Amino acid sequence: MASPMPSRADRTAPAVKAVLGPTNTGKTHLAIERLCAHSSGAIGFPLRLLAREVYDRVCKIKGEANVALITGEERIEPPNARWHLCTVEAMPSRPNLAFVALDEAQLAADPERGHVFTDRLLHTRGREETMLLGSATIEPMVKALVPNVEVVSRPRFSTLSHVGAKKLSRIPPRSAIVAFSAEQVYAMAEMLRRFRGGAAVVMGALSPQTRNAQVAMYQAGEVDYLVATDAIGMGLNLDVSHVAFAGLSKYDGHRHRRLTTAEMAQIAGRAGRHHKDGTFGTLAGLGAGMGGHDPEFADEEVYAIEEHRFPPLTRLFWREAEPRFDSLATLIADLESPPPQPELSAAPQAIDLAVLKRLADEPDVASTVRGRASVQRFWQVCSLPDFRQQGSETHSRFVARLWQDLRHGYLGADYVAQAIAQQDNPSGDIDTLQGRIAAVRSWAYITQRPDWVLAREEMAARARAVETRLSDALHARLTERFVNRRTTVLMRKAGGDASLLPVRISEAGAVLVDDEPIGHLEGFRFVVDPLARAADRKLLLAAAERHLPGLLSSRADELIAAADKPAGLTIEDGTLAWNGLVVARLEPGKSVLEPRLRIDSTLGLLSARQRPVLIAALESWLTRRIAADLGPLLRLAEAACAPESGPDLRALLLKLVAGGGVLAREEAALDRLDPRQRDTLRRLGVRVGALDLFVPGVLKSGPLALWCKLAALKGSAPEAPHGSLPPVVTTKAPAAGYRRAGGQAIRVDMAEKLLQAAHRCRIGAATKRYPLDPALARSMGLATAGYAALLRAAGFRVHMARALAEAAHGPPAPPLWDWRPPRAAPERAPASPPPPPTGAFAALAELMR
């Protein structure tokens, strides 16, 4: 049965005001002002997103305790709430409120939802004031259907201009690209990620939270581009300067068709804000649009959009809002009844009616619907929105299962909690997360019904929490896939000019642009992040060349300050290093103690003023380091240059310097020195030992290690000592500061100590032959065989006869030694070792070990 049109009593009610005009006219702002001026009121919005946005604004004015939010999936209703922000479907159709407003009233001509807007336009009234907001195209219908209506035209605050087609790579920042399928949206967003660093994505299939997060990312300037479906045209308040259409046709659920000029204007009107002008156009190079339609605007379309001149609506869709529930057949008949006025047209079959008719034809389901209350409850279940967008057949199966659970009472809390928990999984790709969000939105809608779910408030809170988690995950996936934050920062800050990029260096050496890493420093050399796109590398290198000299100047100052400290730098493998970074390389010089310093090429970015200062600081540090550790050798080198030293002493001193302060006595030619030269040698700190000449001040781990590093620059060098210098080491290679003693090597000063003790025994002995105790040598770690080899090298000779004779009657006695001065002539080749003992000599030698 058709509901009556407004009665005569309705006609005496306060006049209805229709505020009509294009986008960007401040109509919503006016409605909020009027709502807050009344003692109570409600506004119906086409999107849950808009309802939530205005709810937050009104709460700041009136306080949360006085404001309600009512949507299909969310209800916040304080007990004393007087101002209500609703979606149109959730808006009370016959409220007892002082003020009522309907936003986007022209959607009464929408095939899917138009009948709901038409019902609110015809019947929803405020006691004191009613306001209809919408496009000017609905003015004839409003005048024909609403008695005593007052029409107020609102002009657009700014102008909207057509700028033709542009390539995607030339779309200006703060632009929105509008596509008409998820595939197109993803393709555009991916291209923008490559060209311009990324884009926010807005589609009707996204949850409100995800759309909010994506819009917030765009509004905050994290990205300069927005890719959206035509959902952008429905009340989203965005800072958009240009709208680019990726196509001018869309699939409307039945066929591909070209957009109407009103639809084009609704989308293009998002460009510009308040008094800021906007532009619109198409994307060049995409070929024919979907369905074969021309992707460029026709002249008459451009004129209509720029001048806001569109053909008026000639009909609104209508469906009986108060059907009878006597039976399923009666309910279906009323929902399909013809409209009561010629300005109204029967709405196309919506998803709820399609599900109702499909299930009414199934005997197993229809047989369970008996009585008026049951038919009404069944219709409420069939009205569950198809959030999954899977069509009437799939949706009807879900509704049938829901009806089987509801027809006997309530849904149990455990059952609903389990169904919600099944969707609580934030992993997966974009499509998977969208499917889970759609499923949980269905349960969010179900939990809002007070007569469907036990523990309704708890279950509703769970559903909202899961939707929030999934929406956050979806926002993260969209951002990961379609936003390259580094490129976004580069393009936003530089606009192609590298000098505009704000560059800084982190403590770890990373080079950052607005906290986004673009590379790192190796020493003083900039290395582009290997993950950077090839297209970015040129800009990144240019940014480094422009900005790093200034940043490296402070780093160079730190290096200069470090060069004033003895431990500020280190010498490693022929290089000079600072905190592990190579800053210079050592090259052979005139002598081991005079290496050349070559600054590392990575310091080329330093200024011409600072480079000499840094070079002088590094050379000064190296000079001080050599003087501190190898000062005795430097004095020897200076003395060798003195004219009074003479050629023989000069040659000896240079050999000592080249040997790291150690020289075998047989190579010293001491017999050529006169007493004055010998005295000079003593004053220079050179000690003349039985086998070696050495400088005690150099026989330390630090000086010897440094000398080995410097000697390595000239070619082969003895093995550098490791750590402290033990008296005896076992090594096959020659070690600096040591001499061979059998299979071991003993430090030359320790060898001299042992030989001095042996000579004291010789001098104090009463006979020509005398025993030598190896205990002191063993305490140093020198084996008996090594001790014997050292003694033989110093001129001592062993006599084994007495020891062998006594060995036949008891334990072997220690061998006897005597000493014969070594030959004065130098021995160029080492003496060959004696043949191994045999027989009784072998047994005695083994005992001596």
Per-residue pLDDT, 463: 92
Q: Give the C-alpha separation, 642 to 645, whole Å.
A: 6
pLDDT tens, 778-789? 999 899 888 989
Q: Which of 68-82, 346-360, 473-487, 651-665 has the lowest mean pLDDT?
A: 473-487
Q: How many CB atoms are closer than 10 A to CB 103?
A: 24
Indicate if the pLDDT at residue 212 is higher than 70: yes
Percent of the chain with pLDDT over 90: 30
pLDDT tens, 287-327? 544 444 447 899 999 999 888 888 899 999 999 999 999 99
Indicate if the pLDDT at residue 845 is higher than 50: no
Instruction: Tell me 659's DSSP state.
Output: T
Per-residue pLDDT, 47: 84
Size (the chain), residues: 849
pLDDT tens, 368-385? 998 999 999 999 999 999
Judged on CB neighbours under 10 Å (0-12, 13-18, 19+), 511 is buried
pLDDT tens, 91-150? 988 889 999 999 999 999 988 899 999 999 999 999 999 999 988 889 999 999 998 899
Instruction: Tell me 631's DSSP state.
Output: H
Q: Are 436 and 423 in contact (CB under 8 A)?
A: yes
pLDDT grade, residue 846 (50/70/90)? Answer: very low
Number of C-alpha atoms within 13 angstroms, CB side, residue 259?
Answer: 31
**Residue 731, phi then psi, degrees to nearest 5:** -155, 145
Q: Give the C-alpha separation, 444 to 360, whole Å.
A: 26
Q: How many CB atoms are closer than 10 A to CB 743?
A: 12
**Residue 131, phi then psi, degrees to nearest 5:** -130, 130
Q: Give the C-alpha separation, 492 to 495, whole Å.
A: 6
**Average of per-residue pLDDT across 403-427:** 90
Q: How many CB atoms are closer than 10 A to CB 404?
A: 12
Q: Are 714 and 641 in contact (CB under 8 A)?
A: no
pLDDT tens, 809-839? 555 567 788 877 766 544 444 444 445 554 4
Indicate if the pLDDT at residue 843 is higher than 50: no
Per-residue pLDDT, 840: 38
Write the single-letter amino acid at 285.
G
Write the single-letter amino acid at 297.
F
**Average of per-residue pLDDT across 790-815:** 70
Q: Which residue has the tokens 């969209």?
A: 478
Indicate if the pLDDT at residue 550 is higher than 50: yes
Q: At what angle do helices 392-406 and 372-382 cross, to 10 degrees?
A: 140
Q: Which residue has the tokens 């982190």?
A: 506
Indicate if the pLDDT at residue 625 is higher than 60: yes
Range among 210-214, 315-319, 544-548, 743-747 with highest mean pLDDT value: 315-319
- The mean pLDDT of the chain is 82
Per-residue pLDDT, 390: 81
Q: Give the C-alpha separation, 166 to 781, whole Å.
A: 87
